[in-house]
Structure 1
Amino acid sequence: METARQPDTDARRRGHASSVALKAAFKIAERWELTDAQLATLLGGVPLATLRRWKRQLRQAGQVRTALTRDQLDRVSYLLGIHKALHILFPNAAQADGWVKRPNTAPGFDGRPALDIMLQGGMDDLRNVRRHLDAWRGW
C-alpha cells in the first residue's frame, strides 16, 4: 500500500517545488522588468500561453498544477543565483536589478547586457552569467 501512495507524494512535492520556483522567477522578472516573452525564453522556451496560465494559477490558487522539468528548475536556480549575487555586489536594489540590462565590457559580453547573453536561450548562457558574477564576488 505504501508504494501506491509514493507517486502521489512525489508529485505533490514536485508541484510544490514548481510553485515556489515560479513565484521566485516571476518576482525576479518583475524586478528586472522582463516581458513575458523574455521570461519564457529564460525558462527554456516555454510557450507564452503556458507561462500566462502559470501566472494565472499562482494568482488564483497560489500554486501551479504542473511540475516543472529538471531543466526548468535548473534555469530558475541560475536566475536566483544571479539575482542574489547582484544584490550582494551592489549596494542598492535599483543598481542590482538594472545590471542585467546595462552594457557590459567584461570578457564574454562584448559590450552587450547580460540579459542579451541570457536570452540566447541556452543553459550555458545562464551558467556563464552566473559564473561571471561568482568570480566577481570572489567565489
Structure 2
Amino acid sequence: MSNFGLYPILDKTEDEVPHAAQVAPPVPDGRRILDVSRFEPTIRRRMSAPGMRTFLAIADLWGLSEEQRRLVLGLPARSTFHNWARTAREHGELTLDLDVLIRISAVLGIHQGLMILHETEREGVEWLRRPHGAAVFGGKPPLDLVTCGTQDGLMAVRRFLDAARGGIYMEPNETDRDFRPYTDADIVFR
C-alpha cells in the first residue's frame, strides 16, 4: 500500500522494504490510521545513506552551493552536513531524521518531474533557474522556492511539477509554441 504518494522514498511495498508497516487497516468507524512504525530508525537507516548520496548528485547537477544544500535539508549545522555527506559517500551507517528524508524525497520527486517534462537534464536545470510566471513562483525562479529552507517550498515545487506532468498548466515549450490547433477541416471521416 501507498503512504498516499506524498513521499516516494518512503512509499515502498512490504516486498521492497521488509518489515515496513503500511497504512493500518480501517478502524471500526472506517477511518484509516497511519502506522508510524514504518518510520522506525532501522527503516530510516536503510534509506538515509542512499538518499543522501542521491541528493548530493542532484545538488551537483543543479549547481547548488553548500548553503543552498543545507537550506534544502533544513539547515543542519555545517559540520553535521559535512558528516552526513562524508558518511554517505563512504557507504557508512547513517540515520537521518524523518524531516530530512521527506526533504530528500521532495528533491527526488522534483528531479524526476524535471526529467519527464524536459528532454535533457540541462533544460530541466534551466527551468529551475529561470524566472517563472506561475503564481506560486511570483516571477522568481523555482529554485528560489526549493532553497528557501522550508519543507513547504520544496513541496510546492514538487506539486507544481506533478500537476504539470498530469497536464495542468506548464509554460509552453518549443513544440507547444509551434502547435497549430486542429480545425474541422483536419477531421476526416471515412
Would you call these one fold, judging by a TM-score over 0.5? yes
Q: Secondary structure at the match of 2:87?
A: helix
Counterpart amino acid of 1:72?
V
Deviations 1:70-95 (A, max 9, x none): 11100000000000000000011110
Matches within 5 A, 1:46-125: 46-59=76-89, 61-63=90-92, 65-125=93-153
1:132 corresponds to: 160
TM-score (norm 2): 0.63
Report the count of equivalent residues.
128
Q: Secondary structure at the match of 2:132?
A: coil
Cα deviation for residue 16 of structure 1 reads 2.6
2:24 corresponds to: none
Cα deviation for residue 136 of structure 1 reads 1.0
Counterpart amino acid of 1:50?
T
In proportion to residue count, which structure has more helix?
Answer: 1
Q: Secondary structure at the match of 1:19?
A: helix
Cα deviation for residue 97 of structure 1 reads 2.3
Cα deviation for residue 11 of structure 1 reads 4.5
Cα deviation for residue 58 of structure 1 reads 2.9
Bigger radius of gyration, 1 or 2? 2
Counterpart amino acid of 1:55?
A
Cα deviation for residue 138 of structure 1 reads 1.1
Measured in 1, the distance between the counterparts of 2:116 and 2:45 equals 30
Cα deviation for residue 131 of structure 1 reads 0.8
Measured in 2, the distance between the counterparts of 1:46 and 1:121 equals 10
Cα deviation for residue 124 of structure 1 reads 1.1
TM-score (norm 1): 0.84
Deviations 1:43-101 (A, max 9, x none): 11111211112222233x322x4311111100000000000000000011110123221
Q: Runs of 4+ in structure 1 displaced over 3 angstroms?
A: 10-13
Q: Percent sequence identity over matched residues? A: 35
Match of 1:22 among 31, 36, 52: 52
RMSD: 1.6
Is this contact kept in 2: 1:78–1:126, CA < 8 A? yes
Measured in 1, the distance between the counterparts of 2:97 and 2:77 equals 14
- Structure 1 unaligned segments of length 5 or more: list them: 1-9
2:63 corresponds to: 33
Counterpart amino acid of 1:81?
G
Moved more, 96-105 or 82-91: 96-105
